[in-house]
Amino acid sequence: MRQLIAGNWKMNGSYGALAAYAGDLKAGLARLGAVDLLVCPPDPLVRPLIEALGGAGGSVAGDDVKVAVGAQDCGEKRAGAHTGDVSADLLAELGARFVILGHSERRLDHHETNAMVRAKAEAAAGAGLIPIICVGESRAERAQDEAVTVVRAQLAGSLPDGFAGVVAYEPIWAIGTGTVPSLEQIMQIHEAIRAALVKQLGDAGATMHILYGGSVKPDNAQAILALPEVGGALVGGASLKAEDFLAIAAAATGG
Ligand code: PGA
């Protein structure tokens, strides 16, 4: 399976720094093997980033590498009186191809429930965006041996019927901490997610990308990406520097 390396800029990045980032990223693409890249900047940068990358329709297609641009969230409704929300339809019109949904920072900081994530995934799919739904346990839940139970419940509650998209496993205790689960722990949860996806979605669940996210860096990416059932990475901090992001993408194709 072709790996997807997705960058989540969170509330970082600036309009002024976009050209340099896009230039560095494009310069590094020729060195990569077959891999899909995705960059999810804050919403106001979606269109400028696409333009800086020089791509039409949100993706730059090279011989072996495709680069898409996506968003980090979208509204639950398609349009209307929802001050401050940004619709999936507008993001799609701007050229976004993917949208990250249910990131733990949204679930915790903005009290997003599984039902809300599910509604957003439906809005995203309706607008033609590919949702990346995040799941993952807290440190306390891990300590109580509840990681699999928590992740299964999040999948059951957050994925719409007939979901077609990507799932990202992001243990909350690994996000931005520099602490990464053991390879065995990642493997165990990814296998549990695969089984749940097949149960929930049938054949479609068997081939769906399952990304790992949480402190993925150039020096640990290769071991993580080589694990069975890991179809790519969701990268926060290390996606902010094009050089590190490219190094992780290189690791996806064996270095
Ligand atoms: P991190 O963030 O790579 O900085 O740990 C990952 C994420 O939250 O998507």
Angle at 188 between CA 185 and CA 193, to 5 degrees: 125
pLDDT the model gives residue 89: 98
Residues 64-107: tens digit of each pLDDT: 788 999 999 999 999 999 999 999 999 999 999 999 999 999 99
pLDDT the model gives residue 63: 65
Nearest atom in ligand 1 to 134's CA: 9
| Residue 220 CA to ligand 1 centre (angstroms) | 13
Nearest atom in ligand 1 to 174's CA: 5
pLDDT the model gives residue 254: 77
Annotated active-site positions, please? 103, 170
Q: What angle in degrees, to the nearest 10, is found between the helix axes of 114-126 and 147-158?
A: 40
Q: Nearest residue CA, atom 6 of ligand 1? A: 236
Q: Is 240 in the pocket of ligand 1 (CB under 6 A)?
A: no
Q: Is 213 in the pocket of ligand 1 (CB under 6 A)?
A: yes
Q: Is domain 4-252 in CATH 3.20.20.70, yes or no? A: yes
Q: Is 214 in the pocket of ligand 1 (CB under 6 A)?
A: yes
Q: Report d(CA 143, CA 125) in Å as an integer.
A: 35
Q: Nearest residue CA, atom 2 of ligand 1? A: 236
**Which among 192, 110, 187 is positioned nearest to 155, based on CA atoms?**
192
Q: Is 235 in the pocket of ligand 1 (CB under 6 A)?
A: yes
Q: Is 215 in the pocket of ligand 1 (CB under 6 A)?
A: yes
Listed by start position, the domains of the chain span: 4-252
Name the pTM for this structure. 0.97
| Residue 172 CA to ligand 1 centre (angstroms) | 9
pLDDT the model gives residue 174: 98
pLDDT the model gives residue 57: 43
pLDDT the model gives residue 61: 59
Q: Is 236 in the pocket of ligand 1 (CB under 6 A)?
A: yes
26 CB-side CA count, 13 A: 16
Q: Which ranges of the chain have pLDDT less than 50?
A: 56-58
| Residue 237 CA to ligand 1 centre (angstroms) | 6
| Residue 104 CA to ligand 1 centre (angstroms) | 10
**Which among 100, 108, 110, 196 is positioned nearest to 151, based on CA atoms?**
196
